[in-house]
Chain A
Amino acid sequence: MTARPTDLSRRNMIKGAAAVAATGAMGGWIPAFAQSKLTVGVIYVGPRDDYGYNQAQAQAAAALKKMPGIKVVEQEKVPETTDVQKTMGSMIEQDGVTLLFPTSFGYFDPHMLRMAEKYPKVRFAHCGGMWTSGKHPANTGSYFGYIDECQYLNGIVAGYASKTKKIGFIAAKPIPQVLRNCNAFLMGARSVDPKITCQLIVTGDWSLPVKEAEATNSMVDQGIDVITSHVDSPKVLIETAEKRGIFSCGYHANQSALAPKGYLTGAEWNWLTVYEQHVKDAIAGAPFKNFVRGGLKEGFVKMSPYGKAVPDAAKKKADATKAAMMKGDYVIFKGPLKDNTGKEVIPAGKSLVQTDPVLEQMNYLVEGVVGKV
């Protein structure tokens, strides 16, 4: 049912995107017409303006729309069920989409894989870390960014800003990408002061505004004075932190407008880099890149501008670390590293560079994180 209103808005979108509404709407139905330019489909699991995950993707899609010869069709709030297969099918059959960005984690298996088999000529670029060479079809692939680099920088700024030496991380689910962000956040803070601890609260699902606000409140009650998060839409918790007078670091998109006093900086996606790459390949007929990863250096992620409350020392250290990351020689996860139960997870002398796939299976919290996987 929820797809109904968005169906309408998508159709409007198609009309709006075409220069002439009538011919544009017709063009969608005639595949031969669509071949002259590239039609890209973007599917979101939530609303496009959520101040978070979906907004980050939608910003890239909006930038694509401005490029000449590119038509973008979008659909929001598509559940991770067979609904997404129907959406993909209608985008391919009716709108002539040949490059698809199904952006939510749960779209991949089995929905996207099934459609990829049915439409071998369409390119499926999935956001997340699921694609494995040899196991999945050649017209599918995954893209993701090393946003833990930004969370590490968030941590550095938080380390300087925190007076109580207690920082907090509100997570939706304890999956590897989330744990990696939480660990990086604390390690960044500990690079400033090794006494800092990080409290982890898991809410249980990607979007639970009331629970996120409650988690923020109980953290403030415990004396935590900087928080960040990994939930789909950090809007509510940034606003709650601002109301309670503590600092916050953003995630997914720039939330500085929500907390003019307390917003320090934030970890943002810059998906346009990835979208452009895929679009160029599709137009040129170049082979589809199945495994796309990148961090600050590749321009996949970026930092929000510093807020007013950030001290100069923090800016200096964060900028220096960022410069090292841009050169590509900065390693966040290196031995000796212990988890918070005292077990050694990375032995001394061993460095895991950002591209190491072992990091994508992270199942521990490092020493200093108060919480449990």
Chain B
Amino acid sequence: MTELGWWGVPLGVLGGALRVSTPFLFVSLGECITEKSGRINLGLEGILVMGAMAGYAVSYITGNPWFGVLAAGIAGFFLGLLHGLICNLPKVNDIAVGIGLMLFGTGFAFFLGKPYVQPKAPNLPSLSFGAWADAPQVQAALQVSPLFLIGIALALFLAWAFRNTRWGLVVRMVGDSSDAARAMGYNVNVVRTLATAAGGFLAGIGGSFLSLYYPGSWSEGLSSGQGLMAVALVIFARWNPVHCFYAALLFGGAGSLGPALQSVGITSGYYLYNAAPYVLTLAIMIATCSTRRTLAGAPGELSIVR
């Protein structure tokens, strides 16, 4: 194997961005749909863990990881639906329900997932884009999951659909002004419930990536808050699906900065490098916030904006 030296750092960050970003991407796209409709689902962390568990379990039972991905999505769909239905009740706070759902989802997934910690389920295949390179390190960094590509396509599709399709516009209208939507004859609660369920579906798939691709096994410590961070990502990305993709890449890359630097011998201050994604979020949040106006692009009905 050839020596890489300092080239290991950018390569590690690139590889990390490609490997780690997918769950961020799916969860943030899901949350993007939900928030565009005017609701916040903080429970996506719970849905992510539930999806990871369901995906792994079904992949183990059926022997086909793609069934696992589908099962993860369905599990997420029903948890999202639950959130949507509860929030339809009068005077229910969506943030409080979300926290409840987060705790319920993780706890329930741990409870059901016990028998699947030890067995080894078949993982998703990876596509190799590095065949042109001689260095095995580059080849390894360019191993890309098909889910990642689906995620990119989905981000582009959503960005287009929010502008150009009927249901995209309906979701946005419901999110911006429920009065206008009612006047147009749309049922606000139905739209929001479906948007939350769709968001849950995507978050569940994000979870299945964790358990079926990278790191690629189910355990109770699998998620280190990716679901929560993705919710923050959506605000950071200004509710724009394409920006969600960039933000997910940034977070994925920043997360692998610490290990990559340590492996080339930069060993001091690793706690600081490990905090890089969070420092980055804070810095950008501070740089872009203002007391004089609301966040650009924020759906008007969102409880944190109102």
Residues of A within 8 A of B (CB): 1-2, 4-5, 46-47, 49-51, 77, 164, 199-204, 207-215, 217-225, 232-233, 235-236, 239-240, 243-244, 257-258, 370-372
Contacts and interface: CB of A to CB of B under 8 A. Distances in A.
A242 to B, nearest CB: 11
Given A47-B117, A214-B259, A223-B1, 7 more contacts: A1-B103, A51-B219, A201-B259, A204-B271, A217-B259, A236-B215, A370-B265
B4 interface: yes
27 contacts: A2-B106, A5-B110, A46-B221, A51-B118, A199-B262, A201-B263, A202-B270, A204-B270, A207-B221, A209-B215, A209-B222, A210-B210, A211-B274, A213-B214, A214-B16, A218-B12, A218-B260, A220-B140, A221-B140, A222-B8, A224-B263, A233-B219, A235-B219, A236-B216, A236-B217, A240-B215, A370-B267
Contacts, number: 144
Interface string B84-111: 0000000000000000000100111011
A307 to B, nearest CB: 17
Contacts of A221: 4, 8, 11-12, 15, 137, 140-141, 260, 263
B263 A215 contact: yes
A202 B271 CA distance: 9
Interface string B209-229: 010001111011110101000
Contacts of A244: 140
B114 interface: yes
A4 to B, nearest CB: 6
A16 to B, nearest CB: 14
Contacts of B265: 199, 370
A210 B1 contact: no
Contacts of B140: 217, 220-221, 244
Interface secondary structure of A, over-half rule = mixed
A295 B141 CA distance: 41
Given A209-B224, A210-B224, A221-B141, A372 B267 contact: yes
Q: Closest 7 interchain pairs by CB?
A: A372-B267, A207-B221, A218-B263, A215-B259, A236-B215, A213-B215, A221-B137
Contact of A1 (B11, B107, B221): B107
Nearest to A163: B1
A190 B222 CA distance: 35
Nearest to A240: B215
A74 B48 CA distance: 28
Contact of B220 (A4, A47, A164, A210): A47
B274 A217 contact: no
Contact of B255 (A164, A210, A220, A224): A210
Contacts of B37: none
B65 to A, nearest CB: 15
B194 to A, nearest CB: 29
Contacts of B2: 223
Nearest to B16: A214
Interface string B124-159: 000000000000010011000000000000000000
Contacts of A49: 114, 117-118
B111 A210 contact: no
Contacts of B8: 218, 221-222
A94 to B, nearest CB: 22
Given A220-B140, A221-B12, A370-B267, A5 B259 contact: no
B117 A371 contact: no
A1 B1 CA distance: 48
Contacts of B260: 214, 218, 221
Contacts of A209: 215, 217, 219, 221-222, 224
A225 B3 CA distance: 12
Given A77-B220, A218-B8, A211 B118 contact: no
Nearest to A4: B107
Nearest to B261: A218
Given A211-B259, A214-B259, A235-B217, A372 B137 contact: no
Contact of A222 (B4, B106, B107, B118): B4
B217 A239 contact: yes
Contacts of A47: 110, 114, 117, 219-220
Contact of B120 (A50, A258, A372): A258
Nearest to B222: A209
B12 A217 contact: yes
A233 B118 contact: no
B4 A217 contact: no
Contacts of B226: 210
A204 B277 CA distance: 14
